[in-house]
Each structure stands twice: as C-alpha cells, then as structure tokens.
C-alpha cells in the first residue's frame, strides 16, 4: 500500500492579496473606501480637538499681527493706510493658509506609519490611493474652516469685498485646488522622512522662502531685481495675485491659468510618486 505525499498549495499572504485585488476595485467601492477612511480621520480630530488649534488660531494671529505691525508702513507705501493693507493682505493670507495647513498631511501620514495603523490598511483589499485621498479630503475641510475664520476676521476689521460673492467663491475654490496639489508634496515628504519632526523641518525650509519671497505680504515692486524674478515664477505669488484679483478686482486671467497649471503639474508629478512610495513602503 503506497502512501501519497500531499504538497501544500501556496496561498497568497494578506498584503499580497490586497495588492492583487486593488486593480479590481471599482469607482463606487473606491469612493466608499475614501468616505470610510475620511470618517476615521475626522473621528481622530474629535478625539484630539487640540489638533484644530492651528486652524482656529492661525488666521486670527496672522491677521492681527501683520495688519497692526506692518499695516501702517506697508499700507502707507501703497498710497493708503492700514485699511488698504488689510484689503491687500487677507487674499494673500488665503494663499498662505493652505500651504501651512498642508504640512499636517505629511506629518499625519508619517505618524500613522509610526503607530502601525498602515499595517492594518495593508491587509485590506482597498486602493492605496484611497488612504491618501481621504487624508487630503479631511485637510481640505480643515482648510475651509481656517479660510472662513480668516474671512470673518478680515470683514470684522473692515475688509471690503470689491467684486462679488462669486468672485469670493472662486478665490476660495482656487486656493483649495492649489492646496490639494501641494498636499501631495507633503505626503511624499511624510513617506520619505523618518519622523514627523523631520517632515515639519523640511516643510518649513520649503515654505519660508516661497511665502516671504512672494506677493503675499507686500508688493514686489520694491524688491531687488533678482528677487522680483523669483517672485514672478513663484506659484504662491500667482495664487495670491489671482485670489486678490477675484476679491478686489483687477486682471486675473494670467494668474489664474498659471496657478491652475502649477496645480496640474504638481499633482501629475507628485501624486503618482506618492502612491507608488506608499505602496512600496506599506
């Protein structure tokens, strides 16, 4: 009587199966996954309300600081006063606000890896991009809260909308589109850096020159020629000028198209890189 030897059939591991099934996920399932993951991120904020301090306080602090410290001198150089500078500053701060808040996406992704949350996600048959898009969705919501507080602060101090409500909505929408693109850069940094502190440090090295070497806080005509050249190509200058034109009047076509072009290029380059890095790391 012969004895049959049974050779075990190799089976896929959970992470491998999740990656194999990812290509089969349809649009509706993908949207459902994004919604569930976004809800998870919102619940995290609910459990840690201190994470909203930057959103709630940053617009108030920056508006008061720049208006009352620099408003008289910069506003005077513009041919007006503090009121003139307020109308100039608030649209610029809308462009800056999204950049500062975007940094939280990178630190959040980095922190999730450190805590082992991604080990749970890797066993699920979900698209890797849905995890990242959910992060961006929640951060855009935080940005909208900060923008509403900024606008409320501006109107309370006497800012005057010189176009229309539709221009204001367009300014907010343009800021959101550009901020969503920038978030992919910070996600990539969050995946590449070892700690959240490193993400913040590198983020500040990138943000500071872009913010202060732009038209956000002051007109660029008094800057040195080489710096004016930098500001001409700085996407934040174009975003600030576009938002300012939509809210206060003036030419907007060039600045809007340049801003949308920057957003498209940044998303097209860093988005796939971030998803690929996330898939490889997880």
pLDDT, tens digit, for every residue of 192-237? Answer: 888 888 888 888 888 888 888 888 988 888 888 888 888 888 899 9
Span 70-117, pLDDT tens digits: 888 887 877 778 888 999 999 999 988 888 888 888 888 888 777 777
Nearest to 63 by CA among 188, 134, 154: 154
- Under the banding of pLDDT at 50, 70 and 90, the label for residue 145 is very high
Assign 282 to helix, strand or coil. Answer: coil
Q: Does pLDDT of 5 surpass 50?
A: no
- What's the pLDDT score for residue 2? 45
Give the separation between CA 138 and CA 175, rounded to whole angstroms. 15
- What's the pLDDT score for residue 221? 85
Query: What is the largest distance, in Å, between two alpha-carbon atoms of the chain?
Result: 105
Give the separation between CA 204 and CA 202, rounded to whole angstroms. 5
Mean pLDDT throughout 172-179?
A: 94
Average pLDDT, the chain: 83
Nearest to 239 by CA among 220, 257, 221: 257
Give the separation between CA 232 and CA 230, rounded to whole angstroms. 5
- Name the percent of the chain lying above pLDDT 70: 88
- Name the percent of the chain lying above pLDDT 90: 33
- What's the pLDDT score for residue 8? 43
């Amino acid at each position: 009587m012969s004895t049959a030897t049974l050779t075990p059939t190799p089976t896929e591991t959970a992470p491998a199966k999740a990656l194999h099934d990812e290509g089969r996920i349809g649009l509706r399932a993908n949207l459902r996954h994004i919604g569930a993951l976004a809800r998870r991120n919102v619940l995290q904020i609910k459990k840690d309300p201190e994470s909203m301090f930057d959103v709630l306080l940053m617009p108030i602090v920056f508006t008061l600081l720049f208006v009352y410290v620099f408003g008289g001198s910069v506003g005077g150089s513009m041919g007006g006063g503090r009121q003139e500078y307020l109308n100039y500053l608030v649209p610029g701060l809308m462009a800056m606000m999204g950049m500062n808040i975007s940094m939280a996406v990178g630190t959040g992704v980095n922190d999730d890896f450190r805590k082992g949350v991604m080990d749970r996600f890797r066993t699920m048959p979900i698209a890797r991009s849905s995890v990242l898009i959910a992060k961006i969705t929640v951060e855009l919501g935080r940005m909208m809260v900060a923008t509403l507080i900024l606008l409320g602060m501006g109107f309370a101090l006497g800012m005057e909308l010189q176009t229309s409500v539709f221009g204001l909505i367009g300014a907010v929408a343009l800021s959101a589109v550009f901020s969503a693109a920038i978030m992919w850069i910070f996600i990539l940094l969050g995946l590449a850096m070892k700690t959240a502190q490193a993400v913040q440090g590198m983020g500040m090295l990138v943000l500071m020159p872009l913010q202060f070497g732009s038209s956000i806080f002051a007109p660029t005509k008094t800057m040195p020629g080489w710096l004016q050249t930098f500001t001409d190509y700085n996407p934040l200058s174009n975003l600030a000028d576009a938002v300012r034109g939509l809210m206060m009047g003036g030419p907007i076509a060039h600045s809007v198209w340049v801003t949308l072009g920057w957003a498209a290029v940044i998303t097209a380059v860093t988005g796939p890189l971030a998803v690929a890095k996330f898939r490889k790391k997880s």
